[in-house]
Amino acid sequence: MNIGIDAGGTLIKIAYMEHNSLILNKFPVSELAHVADWINGRDNARICMTGGKASALQSLIHLKAPELVEFDATCRGVEYFLEKLGVTESQYVVTNVGTGTSIHLIDSGQHRRLGGTGVGGGTLIGLSHLLTGLTNYEEIIQAAAKGSRDQIDLKVSHIYEGVEPPIPGDLTASNFGRILQGASHPPFSREELLASVVGLVGETVATVSVLAAGQSGATTVIFIGSSFIGNNLLKDVVQRYTKLRGAAPLFIENGEYAGAIGAWLHE
């Protein structure tokens, strides 16, 4: 049995086939030893790994597992998903919003890393914790979904009050920029703060992706990564901002497993 493992900065993602269905599982990176025990208990397994924690995992398992470059595995996994979805585009950008954010261009089967930003899922959790004390991902995203950013983020239309702005008024002029300028002042509710953190992360990754796509002539941006798990607010922000800035966003269900699937497919 082939098992593909993507051991990332926050989550370990696992892909394998059992009874003809593809099993996808994830564990926090703090459970590396548990994942190693699970692997060690699987006789005849062929393991292939990728991700920043792959070497740490390798040191805990009995088998010698080949290790793939993370970006190769991710792009292979994305191609797998697109084939299944019947998407035939040959040129697109892949933005992986993991702990950090990494941006790649895929063009006729070749891929190249275009860049990235340190603003990603780790920022979402870290800043949210600093602002509200929450530590649990689910709690953070559920509270964020109930919040409004109106009193925290400064929009272009706030600055160009009453006159026609030269760029869409709905664009954010300054994330968190309205805190001392608006009608309300701190303290803000936990929901408002968290919604604004999601806004900051979503608008940053969308903007950087669209600029990267524009540089390389691509118009479609495919967004993957665990930061979108259960996080419709982040999806909405990224979708809206990507469109507003002139590119076509595409979200892949289970896209956070692209790296693990790329490793699983490795011969």
CB of 132 to ligand ADP, least distance (A): 15
- Determine phi and psi for 23, rounding to 5 degrees: -100, 130
| Pairing state between β 220-224 and 101-107 | unpaired
Quick one: residue 84, left, alpha or beta (phi over 0 = left, psi -120 to 50 = alpha)? alpha
Calpha distance 63→92 (Å, rounded)? 36
Does 229 engage in binding with ligand ADP (CB under 6 A)? yes
Does 122 engage in binding with ligand ADP (CB under 6 A)? yes
Calpha distance 98→250 (Å, rounded)? 16
Residues numbered 159 to 198 that lie near ligand ADP (CB under 6 A) are none
Does 256 engage in binding with ligand ADP (CB under 6 A)? yes
Calpha distance 146→232 (Å, rounded)? 11
Residue 154 gets which letter from DSSP? E
Helix axes 137-144, 190-216, angle to 10 degrees: 90
DSSP per-residue string spanning 23-44:
EEEEEEGGGHHHHHHHHHT-TT
Binding mask 78-117 for ligand ADP (x = CB under 6 A): --------------------xx------------------
Q: Return the number of other C-beta atoms located less than 10 Å from residue 155's C-beta.
A: 19
**Nearer of residues 178 and 226 to ligand ADP, judged by Cβ:** 226
164 is catalytic: no
Q: How many residues sit close enough to ligand ADP to count as binding (CB under 6 A)?
A: 18
Nearest to 89 by CA among 260, 197, 253, 250: 250
- Among 9-17, 110-118, 171-179, 213-221, which window interacts with ligand ADP (CB under 6 A)? 9-17
In the list 3, 4, 5, 11, the residue contacting ligand ADP (rule: CB under 6 A) is: 11
In the list 137, 176, 223, 241, the residue contacting ligand ADP (rule: CB under 6 A) is: 137
In the list 9, 66, 169, 177, the residue contacting ligand ADP (rule: CB under 6 A) is: 9
Please tell me the number of Cα atoms within 13 Å of 143 on its side-chain side: 22
Of the candidates 18, 67, 70, 253, the residue annotated as catalytic is: 70
**Nearer of residues 48 and 154 to ligand ADP, judged by Cβ:** 48
Does 132 engage in binding with ligand ADP (CB under 6 A)? no
Q: What residues have CB less than 8 Å from 86, skipping those under 6 apart?
A: none
Q: Which two tokens stand for residue 96?
A: 């992986």
- Among 30-38, 150-158, 223-231, 245-253, which window interacts with ligand ADP (CB under 6 A)? 223-231
Question: For the chain, what is the radius of gyration of the CA atoms?
Answer: 20
Binding mask 35-74 for ligand ADP (x = CB under 6 A): ----------------x-----------------------
**Nearer of residues 74 and 242 to ligand ADP, judged by Cβ:** 74
In the list 119, 124, 200, 258, the residue contacting ligand ADP (rule: CB under 6 A) is: 124
Residues marked active site are found at: 70
> Which residues would be at the binding site for ligand ADP (CB under 6 A)?
8-11, 28, 51, 98-99, 121-122, 124-125, 137, 225-227, 229, 256
